[in-house]
Amino acid sequence: MDICIICNYQLEEKQIIRRARMRDKDGKPQADRITYKARCPSCEIYLRKQDHGKTEGHWGISNIKESDLKFELSENEFLTLKSTVEKKLEKISDDYRFEREKWAEFITIKKQNDKIYAFSQCEGDYIINGYVIKRDNYFISEYTDEIKKNG
């Protein structure tokens, strides 16, 4: 069932956003890993899920945790961030237009009472820094600003 995990509404605009060819360690082809994206018309947010062959994934919003948060941005800090990121995105080549699309999605779903936090997450040897939108108890969208090699 394609339903929103916050409000149980039927999701819309379901689409495949990524299809990854998988191989096992001997190089034998495995089932593709498929990432879907869909929109909840009630919350006005996007959800994603990943299926791997016959294994169906779960719709989710964000994998950010409370412990990843660094600080909350004030309205002014958010406006500064917005102009900094938008200037940076103007200069990048069209090969990276997905970066622009991700930012556009982030900005579009933010509502007046949503809070913005800076976050920092460790993933293996990498540190991921970015910003996340929090609505009530849910992290509803994130934007990755940089990925750094740890150490």
Q: Which residues bind Zn ion (CB under 5 A)?
A: 4, 6-7, 9, 40, 42-43
Q: Specify the residue, 10 or 30, whose C-beta has the smaller distance to Zn ion.
A: 10
Q: Which residues pair with 39 in a beta bridge?
A: 12, 46
- Shortest Å distance, C-beta 146 to Zn ion: 30
Per DSSP, helices labelled H in 2-148 are: 75-91, 97-109
Q: Specify the residue, 41 or 53, whose C-beta has the smaller distance to Zn ion.
A: 41
- Shortest Å distance, C-beta 40 to Zn ion: 3
The total of other beta-carbon atoms located within 10 Å of residue 73's CB is 16
Strand order in the sheet with 69-72: 69-72, 115-123, 126-135, 138-149
Q: Specify the residue, 4 or 132, whose C-beta has the smaller distance to Zn ion.
A: 4
Q: Specify the residue, 55 or 113, whose C-beta has the smaller distance to Zn ion.
A: 113
- Shortest Å distance, C-beta 141 to Zn ion: 13
Contact 108, 28 (CB under 8 A): no
- Shortest Å distance, C-beta 73 to Zn ion: 24
